[in-house]
Structure 1
Amino acid sequence: MPVPHPLLVLVDPLARRTDGESVRIARDVLAAGSPGVKVCLPDGPEEAARALARRGRRRPVVIGDDRALLRAVRLLHLERGLAHCALSVVPVGRPGSVALTGTLGVPLDAVRAARTVLEGRERRFDLLIDDSGGVVLGDLRIPPLHGERERRGEPGGPSRGPLGRCRSLVRTLARPAPGPGAARLRVEADGVLLTDLDSPVERVSLTPGGGLVDVVVRRRPEDGPVRARARTVTVSGPHFRYRADAVVSGPVLTRTWTAHPSALRLTVPPADPPVVPPGVPPQRPSPA
Structure 2
Amino acid sequence: MLFIEAINKASPQSSGKKLINRERKRPTISHKDSVDLSSAGNQVKEIHLDSHEKTQLTAPASVFANLIEHVLSHTMSTKLHLHSPEELSLDSKEWKLFLQVPPIKTESSQRTAGYIEPEIHKQPPAKQLIFHIPVKPAYGVPIEMTLLLSPHHGSPETHSLFHTLPKEIWLPVLNTPYSPDFLSQQLTHYHIFLDQDGEPDQLSPLYSHINQSKISANQDPTNTSGLRIWRAKNNALTPVVLGDKEIGLLFFAHYKPLDSSAMSNDERYLQANNIYTKA
**TM-score of the two chains, using structure 2 as the length reference:** 0.23
Higher strand residue share: 1
**TM-score of the two chains, using structure 1 as the length reference:** 0.22
